[in-house]
């Protein structure tokens, strides 16, 4: 493998702490989804309330996060992603 070089991102992003209302939808945890399938198999109704907020990415994937524990970032082309609050605050600075 060739020598690794260091790079710095220079593009500006818009960001805010991820809060209720920013999400594109809600989803279930893997365990909740498995339990709902098991309940359905046995004819038991499951509470349809989903519990984990997510945003939709450019790749059409659900990027799950936690309100107040992630930053919602929006790039120059309108793309969205979530960054852990501690990582965001240690690697991004306001301009």
**pLDDT tens per residue, range 47-80:** 666 678 889 888 778 888 989 999 999 988 888 9
pLDDT score, position 82: 93
Beta bridge partners of 56: 62
Laid out side by side, the sheet with 62-64 consists of 25-27, 52-56, 62-64
SS3 84: strand
pTM, full prediction: 0.69
Tokens for 57, please give them.
């990415």
pLDDT score, position 33: 67
Tokens for 11, please give them.
């593009």
pLDDT score, position 46: 66
pLDDT score, position 72: 96
């Amino acid at each position: 493998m060739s020598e690794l070089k260091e790079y710095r991102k220079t593009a500006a992003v818009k960001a805010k702490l991820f809060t209720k209302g920013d999400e594109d939808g809600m989803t279930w945890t893997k365990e909740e989804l498995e339990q709902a399938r098991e309940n359905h198999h046995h004819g038991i109704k499951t509470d349809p309330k989903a519990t984990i907020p997510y945003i939709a990415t450019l790749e059409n994937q659900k990027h799950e996060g936690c309100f107040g524990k992630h930053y919602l970032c929006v790039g120059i082309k309108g793309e969205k992603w979530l960054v852990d609050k501690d990582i965001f605050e240690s690697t991004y600075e306001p301009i």
